[in-house]
Amino acid sequence: MSMLADLLATVFERRYRGAEAADRHNRSIEDMCHDLLGGSGEVSGMALARLILDSYAAKQDAEKVAFFSFLTNRMGVDPEAVRHTLEAYETAPDRATYRDFLAASEPPRQEVARRLNQVPGATAQLVAMRADLLRLSRDTPALAVLDLDFKHLFASWFNRGFLVLRPINWSSPADILEKIIAYEAVHAIDSWEDLRRRLAPQDRRCFGFFHPAMPDEPLIFVEVALSRGIPGTIHDVLSEDRAVIGAHQADTAVFYSISNCQEGLAGISFGNSLIKQVVADLSQELPGLKTFVTLSPIPALIRWLAENGALLPKEPEARRALTAVFLLEAKRPDGTPYDPVARFHLGNGASIHAIHADADLSSNGQTQSGGVMVNYLYDLARISQNHERFVGSGRIAASPEVKALAAAGKRTD
Amino acid sequence: MSMLADLLATVFERRYRGAEAADRHNRSIEDMCHDLLGGSGEVSGMALARLILDSYAAKQDAEKVAFFSFLTNRMGVDPEAVRHTLEAYETAPDRATYRDFLAASEPPRQEVARRLNQVPGATAQLVAMRADLLRLSRDTPALAVLDLDFKHLFASWFNRGFLVLRPINWSSPADILEKIIAYEAVHAIDSWEDLRRRLAPQDRRCFGFFHPAMPDEPLIFVEVALSRGIPGTIHDVLSEDRAVIGAHQADTAVFYSISNCQEGLAGISFGNSLIKQVVADLSQELPGLKTFVTLSPIPALIRWLAENGALLPKEPEARRALTAVFLLEAKRPDGTPYDPVARFHLGNGASIHAIHADADLSSNGQTQSGGVMVNYLYDLARISQNHERFVGSGRIAASPEVKALAAAGKRTD
Amino acid sequence: MSMLADLLATVFERRYRGAEAADRHNRSIEDMCHDLLGGSGEVSGMALARLILDSYAAKQDAEKVAFFSFLTNRMGVDPEAVRHTLEAYETAPDRATYRDFLAASEPPRQEVARRLNQVPGATAQLVAMRADLLRLSRDTPALAVLDLDFKHLFASWFNRGFLVLRPINWSSPADILEKIIAYEAVHAIDSWEDLRRRLAPQDRRCFGFFHPAMPDEPLIFVEVALSRGIPGTIHDVLSEDRAVIGAHQADTAVFYSISNCQEGLAGISFGNSLIKQVVADLSQELPGLKTFVTLSPIPALIRWLAENGALLPKEPEARRALTAVFLLEAKRPDGTPYDPVARFHLGNGASIHAIHADADLSSNGQTQSGGVMVNYLYDLARISQNHERFVGSGRIAASPEVKALAAAGKRTD
Amino acid sequence: MSMLADLLATVFERRYRGAEAADRHNRSIEDMCHDLLGGSGEVSGMALARLILDSYAAKQDAEKVAFFSFLTNRMGVDPEAVRHTLEAYETAPDRATYRDFLAASEPPRQEVARRLNQVPGATAQLVAMRADLLRLSRDTPALAVLDLDFKHLFASWFNRGFLVLRPINWSSPADILEKIIAYEAVHAIDSWEDLRRRLAPQDRRCFGFFHPAMPDEPLIFVEVALSRGIPGTIHDVLSEDRAVIGAHQADTAVFYSISNCQEGLAGISFGNSLIKQVVADLSQELPGLKTFVTLSPIPALIRWLAENGALLPKEPEARRALTAVFLLEAKRPDGTPYDPVARFHLGNGASIHAIHADADLSSNGQTQSGGVMVNYLYDLARISQNHERFVGSGRIAASPEVKALAAAGKRTD
Mean per-residue pLDDT over chain A, rounded? 90
Reported as a single tens digit per residue, the pLDDT across C173-184 is 999 999 999 999
In a 3-state reduction of DSSP, which class is residue B146? helix
What's the pLDDT at B6? Answer: 39
- For residues A181 and A257, the answer to whether their CB atoms sit within 8 Å is no
Burial of residue B314 (number of CB atoms within 10 Å: 0-12, 13-18, 19+): exposed
pLDDT band at D254 (very low <50, low <70, confident <90, very high): very high
- For residues D358 and D337, the answer to whether their CB atoms sit within 8 Å is no
Q: Which of A157, A180, A202 is the last residue of a domain?
A: A157
Q: What residues in chain A have their Cβ under 8 A from chain D's Cβ atoms?
A: 170-175, 177-178, 192, 196, 200, 216
Find all residues with CB under 8 Å of D238, minimum gap 6, and list them.
D187, D197, D198, D256
CB spacing of C173 vs B173 below 8 angstroms? yes
pLDDT band at B26 (very low <50, low <70, confident <90, very high): low
- Beta strand C373-377 with D204-210 is unpaired
Helices (H), ranges, A293-337: 301-307, 316-329
What's the pLDDT at A147? Answer: 97
pLDDT band at A39 (very low <50, low <70, confident <90, very high): low
Reported as a single tens digit per residue, the pLDDT across B337-373 is 999 999 999 988 999 999 999 999 999 999 999 999 9
pLDDT band at B168 (very low <50, low <70, confident <90, very high): very high
What's the pLDDT at C361? Answer: 93
What's the pLDDT at A26? Answer: 63
Residues D152 and D168 in one domain: no
What's the pLDDT at A3? Answer: 36
Chain C CB contacts of D156 below 8 Å: 114, 153, 156-157
CATH number at residue C389: 3.40.630.150
The number of distinct structural domains making up chain A is: 3
Reported as a single tens digit per residue, the pLDDT across A260-281 is 999 999 988 887 789 989 998 9
Cβ atoms within 10 Å, residue B214: 17
Rounded Cα–Cα distance for residues B50 and B70 (Å): 19
pLDDT band at A25 (very low <50, low <70, confident <90, very high): very low
Q: Which of B294, B310, B338 is the last residue of a domain?
A: B294
Handedness of CA C162, C165, C168, C173 (dihedral sign): negative
Residue D10 or B391, more confident: B391
Residues C125 and C186 in one domain: no
Phi, psi angles (nearest 5°) of residue D337: -55, 145
What's the pLDDT at A43? Answer: 57
Lowest-confidence region among B5-14, B81-90, B166-175: B5-14
Rounded Cα–Cα distance for residues A103 and A95 (Å): 12
What's the pLDDT at A42? Answer: 52
Whole-number CA gyration radius for chain D: 26
Chain C CB contacts of B174 below 8 Å: 170-174, 177, 192, 196
Is B4 a residue whose pLDDT tops 70? Answer: no
Cβ atoms within 10 Å, residue D74: 12
Reported as a single tens digit per residue, the pLDDT across C127-136 is 999 999 999 9
Of D42, D148, D156, the CB nearest to C95: D148
Reported as a single tens digit per residue, the pLDDT across D268-326 is 888 778 998 999 899 989 999 999 999 999 999 999 999 999 888 999 999 999 999 99
What's the pLDDT at A63? Answer: 95
Residues C9 and C141 in one domain: yes
pLDDT band at A19 (very low <50, low <70, confident <90, very high): very low
CB spacing of C174 vs B175 below 8 angstroms? no
Residue D175 or B384, more confident: D175
Residues C241 and C366 in one domain: no
CB spacing of B170 vs C175 below 8 angstroms? yes
Residues C206 and C223 in one domain: yes
C-alpha distances out from residue D376 to C150, D139, D316, Å:
40, 37, 20
Mean of pLDDT values over B383-403: 91
pLDDT band at B103 (very low <50, low <70, confident <90, very high): very high
Whole-number CA gyration radius for chain A: 26
Mean per-residue pLDDT over chain C, rounded? 90
CB spacing of D192 vs A196 below 8 angstroms? no
DSSP A282-300: HHHH-TT--EEEE-B--TT
Residues above pLDDT 70, as percent of chain D: 92
Mean per-residue pLDDT over chain B, rounded? 90
Handedness of CA B209, B212, B215, B217 (dihedral sign): negative
Residues A339 and A226 in one domain: no
Mean of pLDDT values over B174-181: 96
CB spacing of C12 vs D380 below 8 angstroms? yes
- For residues A210 and A240, the answer to whether their CB atoms sit within 8 Å is no
Chain A CB contacts of B79 below 8 Å: 86, 89-90
CB spacing of D161 vs C118 below 8 angstroms? yes
- For residues D225 and D245, the answer to whether their CB atoms sit within 8 Å is no
Reported as a single tens digit per residue, the pLDDT across A197-211 is 999 999 999 999 999
Is D14 a residue whose pLDDT tops 60? Answer: no
Q: A174: part of which helix (H) or strand (E)?
A: helix A174-183
Interface test with A, best of D169, D171, D190, D285 (most A CBs within 10 A): D171
Phi, psi angles (nearest 5°) of residue D376: -100, 135
Burial of residue A34 (number of CB atoms within 10 Å: 0-12, 13-18, 19+): middle
pLDDT band at B173 (very low <50, low <70, confident <90, very high): very high
CB spacing of D145 vs C98 below 8 angstroms? yes
What's the pLDDT at A9? Answer: 38
Residues B150 and B214 in one domain: no
Chain D CB contacts of A210 below 8 Å: none
What's the pLDDT at B182? Answer: 95
Cα–Cα nearest to D186, from D246, D109, D129, D271: D271
What's the pLDDT at B411? Answer: 82
Structural domain of C380: 301-412
Q: Which of D267, D294, D321 is the last residue of a domain?
A: D294
What's the pLDDT at B76? Answer: 95
Cα–Cα nearest to A206, from A188, A224, A227: A224
Residues C10 and C151 in one domain: yes
Query: Nearest CA of chain C to the CA of B2: how many Å?
Result: 13
Residue A296 or D387, more confident: A296
Is D64 a residue whose pLDDT tops 90? Answer: yes
Mean of pLDDT values over C212-226: 96
Reported as a single tens digit per residue, the pLDDT across D323-365 is 999 999 999 999 999 999 999 999 889 999 999 999 999 999 9
Is B21 a residue whose pLDDT tops 60? Answer: no
What's the pLDDT at C2? Answer: 37
Of D15, D161, D388, the CB nearest to C120: D161
- For residues A121 and B72, the answer to whether their CB atoms sit within 8 Å is no
Residues D305 and D266 in one domain: no
Residues above pLDDT 90, as percent of chain A: 76
CB spacing of B174 vs C175 below 8 angstroms? no
What's the pLDDT at A179? Answer: 96
Residues above pLDDT 90, as percent of chain D: 76
Reported as a single tens digit per residue, the pLDDT across D94-114 is 999 999 999 999 999 999 999
Cα–Cα nearest to C161, from C124, C212, C113: C212
Interface contacts B/C by beta carbons within 8 Å: 34
Q: Is the ipTM of this complex over 0.85?
A: yes
Cα-based torsion angle of the residue sequence B182, B184, B187, B190 in order, rounded to the nearest 10 degrees: -20
What's the pLDDT at C116? Answer: 95
Find all residues with CB under 8 Å of D217, minimum gap 6, and list them.
D124, D179, D210, D211, D261, D262
Helices (H), ranges, A75-173: 79-91, 95-105, 108-116, 122-136, 144-157
Find all residues with CB under 8 Å of D369, minimum gap 6, and list them.
D297, D298, D299, D301, D302, D323, D360
Rounded Cα–Cα distance for residues D47 and D11 (Å): 10
Chain B CB contacts of A134 below 8 Å: none
The helices-and-strands tally (H runs, E runs) of chain C is 19, 7
Chain A CB contacts of B280 below 8 Å: 4, 7-8, 11-12
Cα-based torsion angle of the residue sequence B40, B42, B45, B47 in order, rounded to the nearest 10 degrees: -80
Residues A152 and A237 in one domain: no
Mean per-residue pLDDT over chain D, rounded? 90
- Beta strand C291-294 with C252-260 is parallel
Interface contacts A/B by beta carbons within 8 Å: 186
Interface test with A, best of D7, D192, D202, D249 (most A CBs within 10 A): D192
Is A377 a residue whose pLDDT tops 70? Answer: yes
Mean of pLDDT values over D25-47: 75
pLDDT band at B35 (very low <50, low <70, confident <90, very high): confident
pLDDT band at C38 (very low <50, low <70, confident <90, very high): confident
Residues A260 and A313 in one domain: no
How many angstroms from the chain centroid is the CA of residue A221? 9
- For residues D226 and D199, the answer to whether their CB atoms sit within 8 Å is no
What's the pLDDT at D43? Answer: 58
Interface test with C, best of B2, B4, B171 (most C CBs within 10 A): B171
Is D70 a residue whose pLDDT tops 90? Answer: yes
Find all residues with CB under 8 Å of C219, minimum gap 6, and list them.
C158, C163, C208, C209, C210, C211, C260, C261, C262, C265, C270
Q: B292: part of which helix (H) or strand (E)?
A: strand B291-294
Reported as a single tens digit per residue, the pLDDT across B314-323 is 999 999 999 9
pLDDT band at A36 (very low <50, low <70, confident <90, very high): confident
Is C13 a residue whose pLDDT tops 60? Answer: no
CATH number at residue B250: 3.40.630.180
CB spacing of C173 vs B172 below 8 angstroms? yes
Residues B123 and B188 in one domain: no
Rounded Cα–Cα distance for residues C113 and D80 (Å): 29
CB spacing of B174 vs C171 below 8 angstroms? yes
Rounded Cα–Cα distance for residues D338 and D331 (Å): 4
What's the pLDDT at B324? Answer: 96
Is C41 a residue whose pLDDT tops 90? Answer: no
- Give the nearest chain A residue to B390 (CA atoms): A40
